[in-house]
């Protein structure tokens, strides 16, 4: 039974160490390996076994979790031990792109092991806590076989058999985060330019973002229906007419508008193409560089 529960973690950066710690907290046998020695001290003190080589680490467990620097480092680490991986399940939690996830899935199939590609939606201190969730894509049977173990990291969300889907969801969610954070940084820059303390402004910003940020489901309905003229409250033409004030005000305050500026030409273009009466959700139609959006 202990052997069935064993897990190996490759990569002991901040995130990899957090993953290994979460597995240890559930009482599972954990083997760890890092390219640079000396990072496993706390984990070993907590009960983990440090492997001297990648081959030794892989051989210790039926479930191998890789959290490395990038896609290239995944291949550099695992290519030499593909023979030892046969029959095992590898969970790649290294940040990457959908295309890289699909390439790894094909590569795993060629070498006789199952691969789940993943996206971690948490920072290291959140791992193992209620706010963390991890996305997985690849063979569903492999996911279900190891779901109980993977749940140690946070809520496990399986998103499909396409190996690229976890990375796609990950990148999409991070894109939303960065978009929102750019707007917030610009807001703080604006008030600081007038001598207002950021901590004084922050409660208003939190209240405003909570008020305007809860419409994802409605937006999704419009996107799926491709119907942007339904129940419009503030059309894109009206917003485009006033948006220049955001840019002009930034210049007046000595603040660069470069975090906000890219949206303006899209609003003007959508309006000029005859869609000014529609919701600004319709701007999504200007984003696709390939015709197929299915």
pLDDT, tens digit (0-9, with 9 covering 90-100), for 218-249 = 999 999 999 999 999 999 999 999 999 999 99
Does 200 have pLDDT greater than 70?
Answer: yes
C-alpha to C-alpha distance for 11 and 119, rounded to whole angstroms: 16
The gap between the terminal CA atoms of the chain, to the nearest Å, is: 44
Range 10-14, long-range pairs (CB < 8 A, 24+ positions): 10/34, 10/54, 10/57, 10/64, 10/65, 10/66, 10/67, 10/68, 10/77, 10/78, 11/35, 11/66, 11/67, 11/68, 11/69, 11/77, 11/94, 12/39, 12/40, 12/43, 13/39, 13/67, 13/69, 14/124
Q: How far is the CA of 23 from the CAs of 56, 64, 135, 154, 182, in angstroms?
A: 19, 12, 17, 11, 35
pLDDT in tens, 25-50: 999 999 999 999 889 999 999 999 99
Give the pTM: 0.94
C-alpha to C-alpha distance for 87 and 75, rounded to whole angstroms: 18
Token code pair at residue 175: 């894109």
pLDDT tier, 3 (very low <50, low <70, confident <90, very high otherwise): very low
pLDDT in tens, 70-129: 999 999 999 999 999 999 999 999 999 999 999 999 999 999 999 999 999 999 999 999
C-alpha to C-alpha distance for 21 and 39, rounded to whole angstroms: 13
Give the pLDDT of residue 290. 84
Average pLDDT in the chain? 96
Give the pLDDT of residue 114. 98
């Amino acid at each position: 039974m202990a052997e069935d529960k064993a897990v190996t973690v490759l990569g002991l950066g901040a995130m990899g160490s957090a993953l290994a710690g979460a597995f240890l907290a559930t009482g599972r046998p954990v083997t760890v390996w890092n390219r640079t020695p000396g990072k496993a001290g706390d984990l070993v003190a907590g009960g983990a076994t440090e492997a001297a080589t990648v081959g030794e680490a892989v051989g210790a467990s039926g479930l191998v979790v890789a959290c490395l620097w990038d896609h290239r480092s995944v291949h550099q680490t695992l290519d030499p031990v593909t023979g030892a991986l046969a029959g095992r399940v590898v969970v790649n939690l290294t940040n990457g792109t959908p295309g890289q996830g699909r390439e790894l899935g094909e590569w795993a199939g060629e070498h006789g092991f199952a691969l789940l590609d993943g996206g971690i939606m948490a920072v290291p201190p959140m791992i193992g806590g209620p706010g963390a969730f991890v996305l997985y894509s690849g063979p569903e049977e492999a996911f279900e076989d190891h779901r109980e173990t993977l749940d140690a990291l946070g809520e496990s969300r399986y998103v499909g058999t396409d190996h690229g889907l976890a990375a796609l969801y990950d990148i999409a969610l991070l894109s939303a985060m960065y978009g929102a954070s750019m707007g917030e940084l610009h807001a703080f820059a604006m008030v600081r330019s007038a001598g207002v303390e950021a901590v004084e402004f922050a409660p208003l910003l939190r209240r405003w973002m909570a008020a305007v940020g809860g419409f994802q489901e409605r937006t999704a309905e419009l996107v799926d229906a491709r119907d942007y003229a339904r129940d419009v409250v503030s059309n894109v033409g009206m917003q485009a007419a006033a948006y220049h004030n955001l840019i002009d005000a930034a210049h007046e305050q000595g603040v660069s508008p470069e975090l906000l500026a890219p949206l303006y030409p899209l609003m003007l273009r959508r309006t000029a193409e005859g869609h000014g009466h529609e919701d600004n959700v319709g701007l999504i139609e200007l984003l696709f560089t390939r015709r197929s959006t299915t």
